[in-house]
Amino acid sequence: MERREIPGMPAPFVPWVTYGIVMANGFAYAVMLMVLATRGPAGVERVYMALGFRFGEGVPWYQTLLSALTMMWLHDVSPLHVAGNMLMLYLCAPAVEQSLGYGRFLTVYVVGNIGACLMHYGVASLAGFDATAPTVGSSGAVSVVLGIFAVRFYRTPLRLWGRHRVQFPTAILLGFFIGREVRSGLLNSFTSAGVDQVAHWAHVGGFLSGALISLFTGGLGQAKRSVVIERKIHSQAERHELLEELLDMVEQNPTDGEANFRLAFELDRACKYPEKAARHYDMAIRSLFGACDRRRVVEAYVAFWKAHSFDELPPSTHLAVAACYETMGQYDAAIMVCRQILTHYPHADAEVESALMKIGVTCLEHTGDHAMAKEALEALLARFPGSPWAAQAKALVGQLAGRSIAARSSSHRPFGSDEGLAGIRPPGLPGVIPPGSDEGPRDRPANTDCSG
């Protein structure tokens, strides 16, 4: 299915700078392998001497400064070095890039590496290292990113592939990392127990540089925000105080997805202002969708469903949730949400067009319900003959025409019918409750006045 932006929704954030850094490192590593294959180890050593970080007697100051910028794109020919650095960049850099912005992130990544080199230079001078030996690798720059991440997102579990996360707070994992680096650096520099050739003090210097940069770019405020959002409450007085703080936060930053989610959730638990809660759920889902956090989008949506009716969110928000369900492999839920869009918002042309195409493609490619796929695609062609998807829809209908389509199941109802759909709830996920909450929102009929 051809991808288009969902009407009325922010475009998902793409960490282009992170991708560019990874590609640049990968390209440089491939070049070094070519040098090794054609010129041998001596050729690799010449590249390191020319572009690796060097200082001391016989090394001009301008070469030292320039090498602090070039060494961060080179690695030794062992794949573990470059793979380990790129893995840590993959885990932490996208969130940092989104919080800082493209330009500031790239500037911090490059300039912060100079702080890592200065730390390495200082300790090497004290310990009497051979400073003219070249140092290469992006570890110092990556450590800058880790330092920023440790301050800004100190309690955030690190995301691995798919739905899996490391279940330890960032502060513990990165604290262990920096403690290990300090220990190894001390052993290497001031005792006879050092056995490796790793520039541990460059890692420490990069991490400290990142932490300081984060403090001067709003990182402390970000950490305080996390404390508020994740606060546990045990009384109505504490909930009232939390609601006031959350309201202040969303007034200052209306696109803060997690703050909007927690605010909407607590408003529902307090049985106050259901319309306001629905608006904050809408903002939460939109913001989390823009941040590509599909799991949290679905969690916010499930929390919304427990206390509100379908009509309390605009169709574009439902369509974004359907896209998240589809990406996560919950195809029946995606189809259910799209069908409810057709039922509740029949005149929202842009969303109806997208919903029909999504139903058709999802049924054809994933659920095997060819009858529903054919009906959705034919409805799309009948109502939107000029749709950008018309050619694709015609081709898919042509494919279905040659197949034997089973009779429609009893649970399948014509599009636009809400019979049997009113009581359906989308499937949830473990841990849908916002951080700090000890129970789910109360199930109450939508639009019920609980102010008393």
Confidence label for 323 from pLDDT (cuts 50, 70 and 90): very high
pLDDT of residue 35: 92
Instruction: Assess contact for 32 and 75: CB atoms under 8 A.
Output: yes
- Please name the helix (run of DSSP H) or strand (run of DSSP E) that holds residue 158, with its range, or none: strand 157-159
* Nearest CA-CA partner of 356 in 335, 370, 327: 335
* Nearest CA-CA partner of 384 in 393, 396, 371, 375: 393
More confident residue, 371 or 55: 371
pLDDT tens for each residue of 250-303? 998 898 898 999 999 999 988 878 899 999 999 999 999 888 888 889 999 999
Q: What tokens does 276 get? A: 């306001």
Q: What tokens does 91 get? A: 């885990």
The average pLDDT across 14-40 equals 93
State the virtual CA torsion across 390, 393, 398, 404 in degrees, nearest 10. Answer: -150
Helices (H), 306-363: 315-327, 331-344, 349-362
pLDDT tens for each residue of 137-190? 899 999 999 988 888 777 666 655 544 455 556 667 777 878 888 888 777 766
Instruction: Assess contact for 421 and 318: CB atoms under 8 A.
Output: no
Residues with Cβ < 8 Å from 259, sequence gap 6 or more?
Answer: 225, 228, 229, 246, 249, 250, 253
Mean of pLDDT over the chain: 80
Classified as helix, coil or strand, 166 is strand
The pLDDT of residue 348 is above 70:
yes
Q: CA 197 → CA 79, 188, 235, distances in Å?
A: 16, 8, 56
Confidence label for 124 from pLDDT (cuts 50, 70 and 90): confident
> Which residues, in sequence order, are bridge partners of residue 169?
157
Q: What tokens does 176 get? A: 């262990």
Radius of gyration over alpha carbons of the chain, in Å? 27
| Spatial separation of the C-alpha atoms in residues 312 and 436, rounded to whole Å | 26
* Domains contained in the chain, CATH given: 16-222 (1.20.1540.10)
Confidence label for 446 from pLDDT (cuts 50, 70 and 90): very low
The average pLDDT across 92-121 equals 88
pLDDT of residue 58: 75
